[in-house]
Amino acid sequence: MTIEQISIFVENKAGGLSQVTKTLADHQIDLRTLSIAETPDFGVLRAIVNDPGKTAAILTEAGYICKITPVLAVAIDDRPGGLHKVLQLLADNGINLEYTYAFVTRASDTAYMVVRVADNQKAIQVLTESGIPLVNAKDLFAL
Amino acid sequence: MGNYFQPEIECASQEQIRAWQDERLVKQVRRVYENVPYYRKKMEEKGVTPDNIRSTADLHKLPFLTKDDLRDAYPYGLLATPLKDCVRIQSTSGTTGRRVVAFYTQHDIDLWDECCARAIVAAGGTKDDVVHVCYGYGLFTGGPGLNGGSHKLGSLTLPMSSGNTERQIQFMCDLGSTILCCTPSYAAYLAESIYERGVRDQIKLKAGIFGAEAWTEEMRQDIQDKLGIKAYDIYGLTEISGPGVSFECSEQTGMHINEDHFIAEIIDPNTGEVLPEGEKGELVFTSITKEAFPLLRYRTRDICVLSRKKCSCGRTHVKMSKPMGRSDDMLIIKGVNVFPSQIETVLMNKGYPANYQIIVTRENNSDQLEVQVEMTPELFSDSVSEISKKEKDLINALKAMLGIYAKVTLVAPKTITRSEGKAVRVIDKRNLYQS
């Protein structure tokens, strides 16, 4: 029940990010959500796209360094405490959170969290047992 | 005028200097030939025996020594006395391959101290002075050299070593340091710090002896103005002894080489031919008084000019210009010798691509080293902390190899310019060498 996230190395310089987005646009890649982690010198662009395999091929061809990582997409109630419940659950079970970012869609009152942890299987088990729904890639793009 | 530590030597006639050199060279060559099989073999390959060396006029017949020889003969291969007669080791930073380990007998230390004492006196020092030494102490020759010179002169010596600027300034104010010895970039930094703290009127400095790295006339002016002192250059290298191989006098137009100990030649770095006086070329030294580690015709790789023009200070020893460049790719960063190949070795060991660039800048008179490397699929991760960890690992490995901090910048693949033929690995933005 994981989804594939694509991460791309982007240098911190003018136009660095727009070059990536142009490449994606030129190839009709649909972005569902993204986040950027940055250091003074470079950034890592993480994105959920409709076709990670094709995206990776296109970017590699264009000279980018990218990587596909399995992450979790968690549906949470879009109200106070919704996020906390998930994070508390992970913490209580000793699951280390590497990073997370959120997005909402037009269609529902549900918010979605992309969650990157060291141990996906354990996280899936903990979340499922607590009745927190995980979303697969197909559903994500049907939203 | 009149500031000499050993006037009978420093102001000796050209004939006298030549006579000392002739006599000492002949003896030294024989000693080396008999005690250093490594050099004897080199002489034999060139078909030269000690009998062929009758005066300095025959010097050109001897084979050169280079840093490669020091590596091949590491650690004891160039030693000319039994190890039990040695009392000290000094060394440069760097890897085993590039590290220089020099040996000293007590006599060698005494002569080295004298050379440094000459430099301190030339800068106006007397036994009444307080000599503040903030060159590094330890294997590096800077601290021990000036420390020894100051002792020899009988000045009050402050063995501060480098770093801890707060304490340096405190001591300067409290103990009335009058002569500052350090790298020019640290002097500039100290000047700024003293200025910022508003304690300029509490310091008693009158002179500074600054070496171990290249500096410009502009930098000299800046330091002199900010500290209200006269700033003197000093030159040396561990291979030959350390600081004090040559030093500046009040004229500030070049450094007098201590010719009673070191014979200087200028050669064409490509052909090895000796060039006539006044021509620019590579500086070569022959140690004629060293006992433990006497290098003959050692190629310094420093490019400069020698001049025997009469000096207003009264000294008669030949003067060398500030080095105008290098005939190899060695960089001197924060006073530390750095070879691009050392950086390359670390990158290879850590799995980085061979395409890299070294950028050296001088910000606020302090050298900065940056190594740009291209990101690879193997090193990339979606986790910034993972990448930072690897980056930190590389910084540590570079520090271990070079002895100084290098900023690492990860850049996108294929962004470092590929050049046809010889790659441009080093961009030195400091413009240290005036032509």
pLDDT digit string (tens) for B194-227?
A: 988 999 999 999 999 999 888 888 889 989 999 9
Is residue A118 within 8 angstroms of chain B, CB to CB?
no
Nearest residue in B to A56, CA atom? B377
For B:361-420, CB contacts with A below 8 A are 375-377, 380-385, 387-388, 409-415
Q: What is the mean pLDDT of chain B?
A: 92
- What's B264's domain CATH number? 3.40.50.12780
Is residue A67 within 8 angstroms of chain B, CB to CB?
yes
Whether A11 and B381 lie within 8 Å, measured CB to CB: no
Give me the half-sphere count of Cα atoms (radius 13 Å) on the Cβ side of residue B406: 32
What's the rounded Cα separation, in Å, for the pair B235 and B247?
6
Do residues B350 and B394 touch, judged by C-beta distance below 8 A?
A: yes
Condensed to tens digits (0 to 9), the pLDDT of residues B165-201 reads 999 999 999 999 999 999 988 898 899 899 889 999 9
Taking CA atoms, B179 is separated from A68, B119, B132, B163, B272, in Å, by: 62, 11, 6, 17, 40
Residues B262 and B160 in one domain: yes
Residues B230 and B114 in one domain: yes
Residues B324 and B351 in one domain: no
Q: Is residue B218 part of a domain?
A: yes
Do residues B120 and B146 touch, judged by C-beta distance below 8 A?
A: yes
B376 vs A37, A64, A65: nearest CB: A65
H or E element at residue B70: helix B67-72
B388 vs A5, A10, A39: nearest CB: A39
Question: Is the backbone peptide bond immediately before B75 cis, with ω within 30 degrees of 0?
Answer: yes
Name the band, by pLDDT with cuts 50, 70 and 90, for residue B1: very low
Q: Is residue B205 part of a domain?
A: yes
Is residue A46 within 8 angstroms of chain B, CB to CB?
yes
The token pair that represents B153 in the structure block: 């002169």
Q: Is residue B434 part of a domain?
A: no
Which residue type sits at B330? M
Residues B210 and B137 in one domain: yes
Closest to B104 in 3D by CA, of B118, B85, B77 = B85
What's the rounded Cα separation, in Å, for the pair B224 and B231?
6
- What's B395's domain CATH number? 3.30.300.30
What's the rounded Cα separation, in Å, for the pair B367 and B405?
10
Q: Is residue B371 part of a domain?
A: yes
Do residues A128 and A90 touch, judged by C-beta distance below 8 A?
A: no
Name the band, by pLDDT with cuts 50, 70 and 90, for residue B435: very low
Nearest residue in B to A118, CA atom? B383
A65 vs B377, B388, B409: nearest CB: B377
Closest to A59 in 3D by CA, of A29, A101, A33 = A29
Residues B240 and B155 in one domain: yes
Strand-strand pairing, B130-133 and B179-182 = parallel
Question: What are the φ and ψ backbone dihedral angles of B72, each rounded to 5 degrees?
Answer: -60, -35
Q: Is residue B404 part of a domain?
A: yes
User: At what angle are helices A16-26 and A52-61 packed, to 10 degrees?
Assistant: 120
Residue A95 has pLDDT above 60, yes or no: yes
Whether B382 and A69 lie within 8 Å, measured CB to CB: yes
Condensed to tens digits (0 to 9), the pLDDT of residues A60-70 reads 999 999 999 99
Question: What is the per-residue pLDDT for B2?
Answer: 62
Residues B262 and B355 in one domain: no
Residue B160 has pLDDT above 70, yes or no: yes
What's the rounded Cα separation, in Å, for the pair A35 and A84?
20
Angle at CA B286, nearest 5°, toward B285 and B288?
140
Q: Say if the ipTM goes beyond 0.85.
A: yes
Total Cβ atoms within 10 A of residue B392: 11
Q: Residue A38: list chain B partners with CB under 8 A.
A: 384
How many DSSP H helices and E strands does chain B contain? 11, 21
Do residues B133 and B125 touch, judged by C-beta distance below 8 A?
A: no
| Alpha helices, H only, B198-328 | 217-227
- Best A23, A65, A67, A116 member to test B by mutation, with max B CBs in 10 Å, is A65
Angle at CA B68, nearest 5°, toward B66 and B70?
80
Residues B202 and B59 in one domain: yes
Q: Tell me what the mean pLDDT of segment B421-425 comes to.
A: 65
> Percent of chain B beyond pLDDT 90?
76
Residues B219 and B153 in one domain: yes
Residues B403 and B274 in one domain: no
Q: Is residue B221 part of a domain?
A: yes
Place of tokens 């903990």: A126
What's the rounded Cα separation, in Å, for the pair B380 and A85?
32
Task: Specify the length of chain A in residues.
Answer: 143
Which residue type sits at A88? Q
Do residues B427 and B357 touch, judged by C-beta distance below 8 A?
A: yes
Domains in chain A, ordered, with CATH? 3-69 (3.30.2130.10), 72-142 (3.30.70.260)
Residues B306 and B340 in one domain: no
What's the rounded Cα separation, in Å, for the pair B358 and B351?
17
Whether A7 and B380 lie within 8 Å, measured CB to CB: yes
The token pair that represents A114 in the structure block: 């992309």
Residue B97 has pLDDT above 70, yes or no: no
Place of tokens 């440094």: B116
Angle at CA A69, nearest 5°, toward A102 and A55?
90
Residues B214 and B137 in one domain: yes
Residue B33 burial (10 A CB sphere; 0-12, 13-18, 19+): buried
- Stated pTM of the model: 0.76
Do residues B57 and B25 touch, judged by C-beta distance below 8 A?
A: no
- Best B379, B384, B391 member to test A by mutation, with max A CBs in 10 Å, is B384
Cα B197 to chain centroid distance, Å, stands at: 31
Question: What are the φ and ψ backbone dihedral angles of B360, each rounded to 5 degrees?
Answer: -115, 130
Condensed to tens digits (0 to 9), the pLDDT of residues B3-59 reads 899 999 999 999 999 999 999 999 999 999 999 999 999 999 999 999 999 999 999
Residue B201: DSSP 8-state = G
Is pLDDT larger for residue B24 or for residue B379? B24
Number of domains making up chain B: 2
Domain that holds residue B420: 333-428
Q: Tell me what the mean pLDDT of segment B82-86 comes to.
A: 97
Whether B380 and A9 lie within 8 Å, measured CB to CB: yes
Q: Is residue B186 part of a domain?
A: yes
Closest to B334 in 3D by CA, of B302, B358, B365, B301 = B365
Whether A46 and B382 lie within 8 Å, measured CB to CB: yes
Condensed to tens digits (0 to 9), the pLDDT of residues B233-250 reads 999 999 999 999 999 999
Question: What is the per-residue pLDDT for B273?
Answer: 97
Q: Is residue B179 part of a domain?
A: yes
Is pLDDT larger for residue B176 or for residue B430? B176
CA B131, B132, B137, B140 dihedral sign is: negative
Strand pairing partners for A36?
A: A45
The token pair that represents A23 in the structure block: 């490449």
Condensed to tens digits (0 to 9), the pLDDT of residues B325-346 reads 888 888 989 888 888 888 888 9
Looking at B288, B312, B328, the residue that finishes a domain is B328
Name the band, by pLDDT with cuts 50, 70 and 90, for residue B403: confident
Condensed to tens digits (0 to 9), the pLDDT of residues B110-148 reads 999 999 999 999 999 999 999 999 999 999 999 999 999
Which residue type sits at A78? D
Residues B101 and B144 in one domain: yes
Do residues B286 and B160 touch, judged by C-beta distance below 8 A?
A: no
Residue B41: DSSP 8-state = H
What's the rounded Cα separation, in Å, for the pair B293 and B297?
13
Burial string for B265-303 (b: 16+ CB within 10 Å, else e) reads bbbebeeeeebeeeeebbbbbbbbbbbbbbbbbbbbbbb
Q: Tell me what the mean pLDDT of segment B246-263 comes to.
A: 97
What's the rounded Cα separation, in Å, for the pair B304 and B266?
8
Condensed to tens digits (0 to 9), the pLDDT of residues B64-82 reads 999 999 989 999 999 999 9
